[in-house]
Amino acid sequence: MSKKGIIIHCSDSTFGSSIEVDKWHRQRGWNNVGYHFVICNGQVENNTYLECMDGTIERGRDIDKSGAHAVGLNSTHIGICLIGVDEFTDKQFESLAKLIKELKTKYDIINENILGHYDVSSKTCPNFKVKRFLDNLQYY
């Protein structure tokens, strides 16, 4: 399946992993995790920090399958979720930069097609300026 863009999300939780997000999405009636990638912040469960998990990129939904993260764009855009609400670790941003660079190359995605969830919904997610992040991508 051809991918034309990327939509960046946040979990709106202070802890989690792709397994936890999958559980939350199944509770909402979805068949599995809606994002293609989840970037951990080290807080794997409430009040449990594992440094080795800070910045870990976990696979979510198969990249060749339509996501469940942005109405109208699920089949054409890759969903990336950072665990967190409005504060993210340096390691998460480093991993996000690495992942975006890889996906841009693999799918020939241009920066204009890399969006925050707020660009396509009434949400504030991912609660940071995606365009500013992209402008600074070269520094990561």
Catalytic, out of 9, 36, 69, 77: 9
* Tokens representing residue 20 in the block: 């936890």
Catalytic, out of 10, 36, 117, 118: 117
For residue 14, give the nearest of 92, 96, 83, 89 by alpha carbon. 83
3-class secondary structure, 15: coil
Task: Let me know if 35 is a catalytic residue.
Answer: yes
Task: Let me know if 77 is a catalytic residue.
Answer: no
Catalytic, out of 4, 104, 123, 140: 123
Task: Let me know if 123 is a catalytic residue.
Answer: yes
Catalytic, out of 10, 40, 81, 125: 125
Catalytic, out of 35, 36, 40, 77: 35
For residue 127, give the nearest of 93, 77, 101 by alpha carbon. 93
Q: 3-state secondary structure string, 24-82? A: HHHHCCCCCCCCCEEEEEEEEECCEEEEEEEEEEEECCCCCCCCCCCCCCCCCEEEEEE
To 10 degrees, the CA torsion angle through 104, 56, 21, 83?
A: -80
Task: Let me know if 117 is a catalytic residue.
Answer: yes
> Which residues are designated catalytic?
9, 35, 117, 123, 125
